[in-house]
Amino acid sequence: MGEKRSEILRIREGFYMIDARGYMCPYPQILALKALESIERGSVLEIFVDNPASVENILNLARERGLEIVSVEKLGVGEFRISIRKR
């Protein structure tokens, strides 16, 4: 696993991203949780994943924690971008 890929990147003020493509469950969910814990309230985290199971797990995580699911976009074959706002 490449640790560098899983780093939280600041896109601009209040917007962050992590690239969890290439990782299988539960690793993308763990990365998302750690990232969400480290960003400020009101910020948006974009998570890139490449399997549908990770999408469902991350959406369930967001629902359980009362976070706002901003969008889920299919980018290509099996690739998704999930945007979640921390409340």
Active-site amino acid positions: 25
CA distance 59 to 83: 10
Establish how many alpha carbons lie within 13 A of residue 28's alpha carbon, considering only the half-sphere containing its beta carbon.
Answer: 29
* Phi, psi angle pair for 66, to nearest 5°: 70, 30
